[in-house]
Amino acid sequence: MTTDVLPADIDHGRRALVWLMLVALIVLAAGIGLRDPWPSDEPRFTLAAKQMVESGDWLFPHRGSELYSDKPPMFMWAQAAAYELTRHWRIAFLLPSLLAGLVTLALTYDLGRRLWNPRVGLFAAAALLATFQFVYQVKRAQIDPLVIAWITLANWGLLVHFLRGPDWRAYWIGCFAAGLGVITKGIGVLAFAMFIPYFYARWRGWNGVTRGSGEVRADALRWLAGPIAFAAAAVLWLVPMVLTAHARGTPEYAAYVNEILFHQTAGRYLDSWDHPHSAWFYLPVVLFSWFPLSLAYPIVFVRWRRALAARDARILLPVASIAIVIAFFCVPSGKRDVYIMPALPMLALACAPYLEEAINARWLRITALAITAALGAILVIGAIAGYVGSPLIERLTGREIGEAGGAPWIVAMAIGAAMLASASWFRVRRGVHALLAGLAAIWLIWSCAGYPIFNAGSSAADVMRQTGAAIGPDAELGLVAWKEQNLLMADRPARDFGFSAPWPEQFAAARRWQDEAPQHRMIFILETAMGDCVDKSRAIDVGRANRREWWVFGADAAIPGCVPQATGDAEGD
């Protein structure tokens, strides 16, 4: 594909980019402000950010009274900063993911524009925006969209330098972004996988590879500045964190440093302790989570083979980096679909030059239209059956949907009807357009109508509201066997007795605390953690959320001297 660009093409590409980013903003931002943080990760990060704002300690994240050492604080900093700007947690907790998603789209477009032309850049960004996993993750308050933005920026800098250089400024920016990725989640170093195919392409004399300026000594110093920029980004957090932890000199801070630097990085990779899956786990992710881009694989793979045979480094570098990232995460036993998501922007980029051909293929248009119509029909039929109380649908969808009344079925019916209307409007000639419009309808209707419907059952907002009403405005509140969303959404400062501590220890400590002022102190507790130590006839059931039943009780409901033996997973959803 030619890279020659006329001025008219540039103007048209800029206008098209503006429209694409506007569509992206609408789809990705829809629903912000309509829901609270939902488990598992969202309340955890938002709570840590909220405690940063309230305590002024932004260097060390906390989960209640405990240090939170599972993740570096970069994402929580972003949420806390968003709150300082908006003063509204329902908006602030989702803003970093939204901005990260928009930046990733813009970078993907720019790479396509630079390596090919503005039209390819538009296809690359549009393909990424259409992919299910990308939109799903960007619409959640998790670390992954931010780390993917850093890794994409790193890939941008490296690819611009490797294929359109020498561009040392882009190279240094890329290395610095990789360092920011490290202090965001630890995997920013994966961006350097791009060096492997680059050195191979240079060695084998592939087309379009930057070979340096010819000034050996100057180039050596410039290359060395990349690792320095990477390290500089990492030490922005690492050095103050280590020095402050040492200065505070407590075992808790020493354990935090060890956990965050070693156990949660190399330890987690070499000896995973959760999410065990087989080596084939990522195959369905590549096929289904990366839908509908995966529909183009049959055509794209053939074109990749031809491009590689022609020694086109523009295809080699991103495709090889994708393979390296997936192979890297296939090694440990612990696997999650989101782990390989940093490869997704590079996949969209490598597919982009051939997507116009794929869209024009009749078999793909028919397939896209058939999927749109089938999904629409399934949703409409299933919604009708659920609305009239079909036992089969109730078993398939679970208790939470049944408890929400008829509203979820109306939402599902609206989505299904929108997909059927899209299929009817676009028909076979524009079958891909029908699928993309149907997917947009899913995200918009779900975000604007589904969020408010499911917020009560998916967050702790209603439970904590009922708790506050039940105990009155003057009571003190203690938490046992609690989840992050309970402390986050409590209507008053609450006392916790550890998050990771076993439930019996929390219960015993809470009872001692309650007995110090029995008339004014109430305990909020998970039903299964009470055992036989609480008289439920004197306790208050404050509702169900996140598939759990919650109670509050005063000192008069506690069985004297009784400590329950019930245990549970503090980290579970």
Q: What single-letter amino acid sits at 545?
A: A
> Do 382 and 492 fall within a single domain?
no
Residue 48 lies in a domain: no
Nearest to 566 by CA among 524, 525, 519: 525
128 and 156 Cβ atoms separated by less than 8 Å: no
pLDDT at 407: 83
Cα distances from 126 to residues 131, 337, 383, 463, in angstroms, run: 9, 21, 30, 40
Instruction: Give yes or no: residues 371 and 488 share one domain.
Output: no
Q: State whether 489 and 478 are in the same domain.
A: yes
Residue among 287, 291, 428 nearest 360 (CA): 428
Residue 84: Cβ within 10 Å count: 10
345 and 379 co-located in one domain: no
Q: Is 396 in the same domain as 500?
A: no
Single-letter residue type at 8: A
Confirm whether 41 is domain-assigned.
no
Residue 483 lies in a domain: yes
Number of structural domains the chain divides into: 3
481 to 433, 504, 525: CA distances (angstroms): 49, 9, 6
Assigned token pair, 543: 């509702």
Confirm whether 20 is domain-assigned. Answer: no
494 token code pair: 């609450």
Domain shared by 448 and 475, yes or no: no
**Residue ranges in 183-296 assigned as alpha helix (H):** 195-204, 216-248, 251-258, 268-270, 282-284
Residue ending a domain, among 359, 390, 424, is 359
Task: List, as one string, the DSSP characters of 499-555.
Answer: SSS-HHHHHHHHHHHHHHSTTTEEEEEEHHHHTTSB-TTTSEEEEEETTEEEEEE-G
Segments forming the whole domain that contains residue 196: 94-251+276-359
| Backbone phi, psi, residue 548, to 5° | -135, 150
Residue pointed to by tokens 């611009």: 160
Query: In the listed set 359, 379, 400, which residue is the last one of a domain according to the structure?
Result: 359
- Evaluate whether residue 257 is within a structural domain: no
Say if residues 547 and 400 touch (Cβ distance below 8 Å): yes
8 Å CB contact between 496 and 482:
yes
Residue 385 lies in a domain: yes
In order of 3, 91, 122, 280, 538, the CA distances from 114 in angstroms are 8, 35, 12, 35, 69
Q: Which of 457, 489, 514 is the last residue of a domain?
A: 457
pLDDT averages per 10-residue partition of the chain, 573 residues: 54 83 97 93 96 94 92 95 96 98 98 95 97 97 95 97 93 96 89 94 89 73 94 92 91 89 61 68 94 96 96 96 93 85 97 96 96 95 82 64 71 95 93 96 95 87 94 95 95 94 94 95 95 93 88 94 74 48
Instruction: Please indicate, yes or no, whether residues 349 and 222 belong to a single structural domain of this protein.
Output: yes
Pairing relationship of beta strands 548-553 and 521-526 according to DSSP bridges: antiparallel
Structure tokens at 40: 């598992």
Residues 497 and 397 occupy one common structural domain: no
Residue 505 in domain: yes
Q: Is residue 550 part of a domain?
A: yes
pLDDT in the model for residue 186: 81
Using alpha carbons, list the distances in angstroms from residue 413 to 139, 419, 437.
22, 10, 16
Extract the tokens encoding 105: 């789209």
d(CA 246, CA 420): 62
Query: Tokens in use for 55?
Result: 């305590």
Residue 366 and residue 347 share a domain = no
The single-letter DSSP state of residue 312 is B
pLDDT of residue 207: 87
Per DSSP, helices labelled H in 275-398 are 282-284, 297-309, 313-330, 344-351, 355-360, 362-387, 391-397
Together in a domain, 370 and 479: no
From 359, 383, 382, select the one nearest 369 (Cα to Cα). 359
Alpha-helical segments (H) within 249-341:
251-258, 268-270, 282-284, 297-309, 313-330
Give φ, ψ of 404 to 5 degrees. -80, 0
Residue 355 shares a structural domain with residue 366: no
Q: Does residue 354 sit in the same domain as residue 366?
A: no
In DSSP notation, 29-98 reads HTTTTS----TTHHHHHHHHHHHHHHH---SS-EETTEE--SS-SHHHHHHHHHHHHH--HHHHTTHHHH
Give the helix/strand (H/E) hosting 114: helix 95-115
Check if the beta carbon of residue 551 is closer than 8 Å to that of residue 486. Answer: no
